[in-house]
Amino acid sequence: MRLTFYGVRGSIPTPGADFIRYGGNTACVHIELEDGTDIVLDSGTGIRKLGEQLVKKQTPIHLLLSHNHWDHIQGFPFFTPIYQENREINIYPGQTMLNEPDQIIRQMEGSLFPVPPEALKANITIEQLPEGQDKFAIGSAVVKRLRMNHPGKGSAYCIEADGLKVAYITDNELYPPYKKETDFLEFVMFALDADLLIHDAQYMLSDMPAKTGWGHSVAEEAVKLAMACNAKKLALYSHDPERTDDDIDDVVTHCNEYVTIAESTLHVFASSEGQTLDFS
């Protein structure tokens, strides 16, 4: 398994000199399995760059969406494989409150985008799983999904393949003030013993209570989850657009204080655009 971050920013792209090291593109992660299967997590603006690589292949692409907020679908019209003749692209929509499984394509309709959905040459299939089916196979991977706590709702994913387990949980508020879809302990069981937990860490405790209910977690709670589920690594994800590179360094330092106090072996890092993990 080879995993690369293509977009790690939450809410809106953040270009600028203060955001170069961690990157300003929104949510997108690519996982290539040993059998060659390509799994893409979310279609934020980071997916444009990934498209430059995947357009060189002809094999199916499996796109797992957490939900339909703009920062998770906005890059799709610029993902060049969608214009490839007969390229197989399977889209798994998130479990959103409104049942809009093809919203990622409909964002190209009407006055919103110059190229209409009819111009897409790829064979795009919306794979809407029946309610209650939360486990499925993609290539050699076993994929599980779980509902998240977020305005408009959405899905987390756990991918097990090549002897590794990766959990992708964003955008998710671990302790929301509104009615929870999923309890903290359910997230623990979902990501139990993960080699890598990628989790929403948009805020810090110091940002609260101003941003409670906005649908994101604080970094300290992501650390708590990672330690509770015995994850080997925690990738802080969905960085706040206000957070500069230096600010993110401070978040990591602060999180590591918790790890030290807990005498944990957890490795915490802030995900950054272009960063690749090969788990070797």
Under rule CB under 5 A, which residues in 160-189 are in contact with Zn ion?
A: 171
Cβ proximity to Zn ion: between 171 and 181 the closer is: 171
Q: Which of 5, 64, 71, 6 is nearest to 44 (CA)?
A: 71
C-alpha 89/C-alpha 104 separation (Å) is 13
Cβ proximity to Zn ion: between 146 and 161 the closer is: 146
Q: How far is CA 268 from CA 48, 198, 199, 259, in A?
A: 27, 10, 11, 8
Cβ proximity to Zn ion: between 69 and 87 the closer is: 69
Please state the closest distance from residue 19 (CB atom) to Zn ion, in A: 19
147 binds Zn ion, rule: CB under 5 A: no
Cβ proximity to Zn ion: between 24 and 94 the closer is: 94
Under rule CB under 5 A, which residues in 191-210 are in contact with Zn ion?
A: none
Which residues neighbour 181 within 8 Å (Cβ) at sequence distance 6 or greater? 147, 148, 149, 153
Please state the closest distance from residue 43 (CB atom) to Zn ion, in A: 13
Structure tokens at 81: 């494989």
C-alpha 221/C-alpha 201 separation (Å) is 8
Binding pattern to Zn ion, positions 224-263, x when CB under 5 A? ----------------------------------------
- What H or E segment, with its residue span, contains residue 161? strand 155-161
∠ CA(144), CA(178), CA(91), 5° rounding? 30
Cβ proximity to Zn ion: between 171 and 240 the closer is: 171
- Strand 276-277 and strand 2-7: the pairing is antiparallel
Residue 202: left (phi > 0), alpha (psi -120 to 50), or beta?
Answer: alpha
Please state the closest distance from residue 279 (CB atom) to Zn ion, in A: 28
Please state the closest distance from residue 215 (CB atom) to Zn ion, in A: 6
Cβ proximity to Zn ion: between 171 and 195 the closer is: 171
Handedness of CA 135, 136, 142, 148 (dihedral sign): negative
Please state the closest distance from residue 69 (CB atom) to Zn ion, in A: 3
Binding pattern to Zn ion, positions 55-94, x when CB under 5 A? --------------x-------------------------
Size of the site for Zn ion (CB under 5 A): 2
Please state the closest distance from residue 93 (CB atom) to Zn ion, in A: 14
Which residue ranges make up the site for Zn ion (CB under 5 A)?
A: 69, 171
